[in-house]
Amino acid sequence: MMKPVCYAGKEFLPIDRASLSILDLGVQRGYGIFDFLRVSRNVPLFLEDHLDRFYHSAAVMRLSIPESRQGIRDILFHLIRENNLQTSGIRLILTGGASPDGYQIIEPALSIVQQVIQSPADELAMQGIHLLTYPFQRQLPQAKTTDYLMAIWLQPWLKKNGGDDILYHQSGMISECPRSNIFIVTKQGTLATPVSNMLKGITRKQVLTLAGMSGISVEERDISLDDIKTAQEAFITSSTKRIVPVRQVDNIHLPPLEQASVTRRLWENFLELERRLTSAG
């Protein structure tokens, strides 16, 4: 089986031949950003939103992107045509580049990788997941950086305590999961999601738009751990998972998810949005 082609070192080459300099700040200091988008039926989903965030992250991290926006689009579609991976993920990676002193940014390095991923389920996981909270605040949370040190370090603790994912909080206010955004549905039926100290996800953006179009009241605001105790529903969102219900946060058990729930309504609307995008492509 042929290895997928990627873009690295300003050329297209098989992924097993791609490399990064040992002097790269991504290797030496973990300094870099990335973005990840899903490809369905060879259609890159929400491409422009992902590019917007990639450029925003680069600006926050003071990294110049060595390709124009159109240049990145051209590379992406070249990989999609060349690899022909119907269901896949594309990762845009921008590191600090080779640095002689291990500290100064000289010329950032761009890599773009496409790989097969498992397609998310087309049925809502009604049983939900169990989140464990942990007091932590990511540095420069508005940028999608390659720093996942805390999330990876916590994996043994998470498994030992029977959790499915981690929910960060600080001073009693929740922010995000390591790779997902979180939403709650209040007793009044309002959809609420944190607004600060977190990365604004692309699926999060689509869910907020769909909620507004569906007449669901929406609030982007600070959310406390106490708010979860009175929530009627909760779910997380990400590019690879779409929408996943939450059944429990620490020792807080949320009510069983009903067929007529806000979560299910948004799930169905999101699936329909994806179908339209892939059909148009």
pLDDT single digits (tens) 39-76? 999 999 999 999 999 999 999 999 999 999 999 999 99
Which amino acid, 71? G
Which CATH number is correct for 5-116, 3.90.245.10, 3.40.50.1370, 3.30.470.10, 3.40.640.10?
3.30.470.10
What span, in angstroms and rounded, lies between the C-alpha atoms of 43 and 115? 14
Strands 191-193 and 129-135: unpaired
DSSP secondary structure letter of residue 278 = H
Strands 87-95 and 223-224: unpaired
Structure tokens, 198? 């977190």
Check pLDDT > 90 for residue 144: yes
| pLDDT-based confidence at residue 1 (cuts at 50, 70, 90) | low
Say whether pTM exceeds 0.75: yes
CATH number of 129-280: 3.20.10.10
Q: What is the pLDDT of residue 243?
A: 97
Give me the residue spans of the domains in the chain.
5-116, 129-280
pLDDT single digits (tens) 74-133? 999 999 999 999 899 999 999 999 999 999 999 999 999 999 999 898 999 989 999 999
Q: What is the pLDDT of residue 179?
A: 97
Helix-helix angle 262-280:202-213, to 10 degrees: 110
Q: What is the pLDDT of residue 281?
A: 59
What span, in angstroms and rounded, lies between the C-alpha atoms of 34 and 56? 11
